[in-house]
């Protein structure tokens, strides 16, 4: 009797607890309605997001679905939910401009997860907030000027022979060319030299340690999905639990490499004109005012150097190799565009003794159009996030976005909006000639973000993409290999856009 009574009480308590949880979800899911902002109907427990543990589509496609539904209703903005987190979802381009530029001081932070105590590498420029971000951005900006890019340019060109050797080897063997892997080795070696001052030997060593960890950084898994779910939905809990963004072996490896590099240079008084040297000079307060840097009295620690080098590595090699990968796929599908770009490359190089120079790639305007259209169709970062850091009244409405509110800017969805890009599935570089660009709102193309938090490495990323494409198209004609799964589908796992089954090409020597 007592046992039955206990079971009855337990069941009653469980039902009561479940009822309270459901009631809390329902109350939370009225947040945007209470703010007089239209919202899409959420579902318990994931809100407007698909089940992250059984998701068969990349998150950018869900974001596009929300965008299309809101825009069809004529909304300028709307509310969605990720589990219990209300997200301010922006549609109107002028609203986006206000958030990213005009009223940036209200939206300084990205809201990226950072657990510096458990994982020092997470405290990098992308994830830092407030004054720490502002100070570090000011320190790092001088290394990404056009002058610094020109200084590092030859280092990029020096990595071209290994790229061509590998491609030629695969061509001679008549095997399908895994172009993304080849390009990732190319950009990994570039970042190794420019950021670390080291030879990563991604082509020469089949099991190159840096290429191994580069692959591992972007491999999806159930454990990584769980980790990502925790840090995005319950960041405070994740921090208390000591959840880290990347596996410890990756963090330990990069920390060890940076410490050894810094120690070696300092003990041997060795200097190089690269990104690592700038960070070491910041650590030792050696940067002069001539570099455009104003000292704020704070130097960098070795851990902070490691964090910045790490984010330069993961952002620098993956986004550029992805961009070149998709560009070559589209060029392989559109031989007329490929021929036109090759004609420009040959004409420009002919004026430069056949050499790839910094000035030469600046002359390639059609190259710019091809890359811009590639970044429209395949933006590596498909959504931009911001956090409202102080209450913000929307200019033309009686609505206040509260401090602490998460904001989403749906880049991929905007890039596929038929109002801005008719027939958006079509690959058409003419969208980005000067005349057509001038007709569009500037914020219809956001592959690098905009405003003060625009990607600091944009110039570097574009430069290495242009060098890689120039070298390959000058020497080879590409076609799509039958091993490529068409129509191309976006891999549902991972943050950076990639093709499901990868892109496989065939190459013909010119």
Helix (H, G, I), strand (E, B) or coil at 197: coil
**Domain assignments of the chain as residue spans, ordered by start:** 35-509
pLDDT at 14 over 90: no
The pLDDT score that the predictor gives to residue 171 is: 96
pLDDT at 489 over 70: yes
Residue 357: alpha-carbon gap to chain centroid: 27
Gyration radius of the chain over CA positions: 24
pLDDT at 258 over 60: yes
Confidence label for 411 from pLDDT (cuts 50, 70 and 90): very high
- Measuring CA to CA, which residue among 257, 304, 121 is closest to residue 265? 257
Angle 365-377/335-350 helices, nearest 10 degrees? Answer: 140
Average pLDDT over residues 165-170: 96
More confident residue, 116 or 323: 323
Contacts of residue 315, defined as CB under 8 A and 6 or more positions apart, other chains included, come to 126, 455, 457, 461
Q: How many CA atoms lie within 13 A of 55 on its CB side?
A: 24
507 phi, psi to nearest 5 deg: -125, 145
User: Poorest-confidence range of 166-175, 287-296, 421-430, 445-454?
Assistant: 287-296
Q: At 49, list the tokens.
A: 């997001």
More confident residue, 195 or 20: 20
- Measuring CA to CA, which residue among 328, 433, 420, 300 is closest to residue 372? 433
Q: How many CA atoms lie within 13 A of 466 on its CB side?
A: 27
Please report, to the nearest 10 degrees, the dihedral formed by the alpha carbons of residues 56, 62, 63, 67 taken in order.
Answer: 160
Classify residue 219 by its DSSP letter. Answer: -
Give the pairing type, strands 85-90 and 406-409.
parallel
Task: Name the helix (H) or strand (E) containing 177.
Answer: strand 177-178
Classify residue 39 by its DSSP letter. Answer: B
CA distance 326 to 87: 31
Average pLDDT over residues 204-227: 77
pLDDT at 312 over 70: yes
What CA–CA distances, in Å, run from 1 to 4, 6, 7?
A: 5, 9, 10
| Residues linked to residue 407 through DSSP beta bridges, in sequence order | 88, 386
Q: At 309, list the tokens.
A: 């080098």
- What percent of the chain lies above the pLDDT cut of 90? 64
- Measuring CA to CA, which residue among 59, 372, 13 is closest to residue 232? 59
Burial of 382 (0-12, 13-18, 19+ CB in 10 A): buried
Confidence label for 455 from pLDDT (cuts 50, 70 and 90): very high
The pLDDT score that the predictor gives to residue 298 is: 61
N- to C-terminal Cα separation, the chain: 89
Contacts of residue 456, defined as CB under 8 A and 6 or more positions apart, other chains included, come to 125, 137, 140, 141, 144
Helix (H, G, I), strand (E, B) or coil at 271: coil
pLDDT in tens, 146-161: 888 898 899 899 999 9
pLDDT at 297 over 80: no
User: Poorest-confidence range of 269-273, 396-400, 412-416, 484-488?
Assistant: 269-273
More confident residue, 220 or 106: 106
CATH homologous superfamily for 35-509?
Cytochrome P450 (1.10.630.10)
pLDDT at 82 over 80: yes
More confident residue, 430 or 9: 430
Helix (H, G, I), strand (E, B) or coil at 310: helix
DSSP string for residues in 80-135: EEETTEEEEEE--HHHHHIIIIITGGGS-B------TTT-GGG-STTT--HHHHHH
- What percent of the chain lies above the pLDDT cut of 70? 95
User: Poorest-confidence range of 91-105, 216-230, 304-318, 480-494?
Assistant: 216-230
492 phi, psi to nearest 5 deg: -70, -20
Average pLDDT over residues 122-149: 89
The pLDDT score that the predictor gives to residue 286 is: 67
> Are the CB atoms for 235 and 352 separated by under 8 Å?
no
pLDDT at 293 over 50: no
pLDDT at 221 over 70: no
pLDDT at 374 over 90: yes
pLDDT in tens, 235-252: 888 888 888 887 888 888
Confidence label for 295 from pLDDT (cuts 50, 70 and 90): very low
Helix (H, G, I), strand (E, B) or coil at 76: coil
- Which pTM was predicted? 0.92
């Amino acid at each position: 009797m007592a046992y039955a009574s206990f079971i009855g009480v337990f069941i009653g308590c469980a039902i009561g607890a479940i009822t309270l949880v459901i009631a809390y979800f329902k109350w939370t899911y009225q947040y945007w309605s209470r703010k007089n902002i239209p919202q899409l109907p959420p579902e318990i427990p994931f809100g407007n997001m698909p089940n992250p543990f059984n998701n068969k589509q990349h998150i950018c496609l869900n974001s596009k679905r929300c965008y299309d539904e809101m825009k069809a209703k004529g909304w300028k903005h709307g509310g969605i939910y990720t589990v219990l987190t209300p997200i301010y979802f922006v549609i109107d381009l002028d609203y986006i401009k206000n958030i990213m530029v005009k009223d940036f001081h209200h939206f300084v932070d990205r809201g990226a997860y950072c657990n510096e105590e458990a994982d020092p590498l997470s405290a990098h420029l992308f994830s830092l907030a407030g004054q720490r971000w502002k100070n570090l951005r000011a320190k790092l900006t001088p290394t990404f000027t056009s002058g610094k890019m020109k200084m590092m340019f030859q280092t990029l060109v020096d990595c071209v022979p290994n790229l061509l050797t590998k491609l030629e080897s695969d061509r001679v063997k008549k095997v399908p060319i895994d172009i993304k892997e080849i390009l990732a080795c190319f950009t990994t070696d570039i970042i190794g030299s420019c950021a670390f001052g080291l030879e990563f030997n991604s082509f020469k060593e089949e099991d190159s340690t840096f290429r191994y960890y580069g692959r591992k950084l972007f491999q999806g898994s159930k454990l990584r999905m769980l980790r990502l779910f925790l840090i995005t939905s319950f960041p405070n809990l994740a921090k208390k639990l000591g959840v880290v963004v990347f596996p410890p072996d990756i963090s330990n490896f990069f920390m060890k490499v940076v410490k050894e590099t810094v120690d070696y240079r300092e003990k041997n008084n060795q200097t190089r004109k690269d990104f690592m040297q700038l960070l070491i000079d910041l650590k030792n307060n050696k940067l002069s005012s001539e570099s455009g840097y104003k000292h704020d009295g704070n130097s960098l620690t070795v851990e902070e150097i490691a964090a910045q080098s790490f984010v330069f590595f993961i952002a620098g090699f993956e986004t550029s190799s992805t961009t070149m990968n998709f560009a070559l796929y589209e060029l392989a599908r559109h031989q007329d565009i490929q021929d036109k770009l090759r004609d420009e490359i040959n004409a420009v190089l002919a004026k430069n003794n056949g050499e790839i120079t910094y000035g030469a790639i600046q002359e390639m305007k059609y190259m710019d159009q091809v890359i811009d259209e590639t970044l429209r169709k395949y933006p590596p970062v498909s959504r931009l996030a911001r956090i409202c850091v102080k209450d913000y009244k929307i200019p033309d409405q009686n609505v206040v976005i509260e401090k602490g509110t998460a904001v989403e800017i749906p880049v991929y969805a905007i890039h596929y909006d038929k109002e801005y890009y008719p027939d958006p599935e079509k690959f058409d570089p003419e969208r980005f000639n000067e005349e057509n660009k001038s007709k569009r709102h500037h914020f219809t193309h956001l592959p690098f973000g905009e405003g003060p938090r625009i990607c600091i490495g944009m110039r570097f990323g574009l430069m290495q993409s242009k060098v890689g494409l120039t070298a390959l198209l000058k020497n080879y004609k590409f076609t799509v290999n039958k091993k490529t799964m068409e129509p191309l589908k976006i891999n549902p796992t991972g943050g950076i856009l990639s093709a499901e089954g990868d892109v496989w090409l065939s190459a013909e020597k010119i």
